[in-house]
Amino acid sequence: MGNTFCQSCSHRHGCKGVYRELGNITGPSVVCKVLIAFLMPVAVFIASLAVCETILAKTIETGPVRTVLGFVLALAVTLGLILVTKLIAWQFGKDR
């Protein structure tokens, strides 16, 4: 299928060179940024939910209220982390 598609393409002679050049591009690693942007908020939410649930279990007897309040508190902590992370990134980006 790919071969017949390439035969009708007007860029069939330069296509391989373009993909070869794209494959040879080097740059800074984005692994740290990806971990901060995607995994850290999830991990913080789960950890803060567990901590809030543990603390609220000692103070609130009603299960549904404890669950909703723990969820809201964990969400607030996570949103606070995202805000602080954005402020730090903005501050570092401003210096460049």
In a domain, 86, yes or no: yes
Convert the pLDDT of each residue in 6-21 to its tens digit: 777 777 777 777 777 7
Per-residue confidence (pLDDT) for residue 76, from 0 to 100: 97
- Would you tell me how many other CB atoms lie within 10 Å of the CB of residue 49? 18
Convert the pLDDT of each residue in 39-64 to its tens digit: 999 999 999 999 999 999 999 888 89
| Sequence-separated (6 or more) residues with CB below 8 Å from residue 59 | none
Per-residue confidence (pLDDT) for residue 11, from 0 to 100: 73
Under 8 Å between Cβ of 84 and 76? no
Convert the pLDDT of each residue in 80-92 to its tens digit: 999 998 898 888 8
Of 74 and 34, the one with more pLDDT = 74
In a domain, 11, yes or no: no
In a domain, 49, yes or no: yes
In a domain, 2, yes or no: no
Please give the tally of structural domains in the chain.
Answer: 1
The stretch 55-76 carries a mean pLDDT of: 92
Domain limits for position 83: 28-95
In a domain, 90, yes or no: yes
Place 95 in a pLDDT band, splitting at 50, 70 and 90: low
In a domain, 33, yes or no: yes
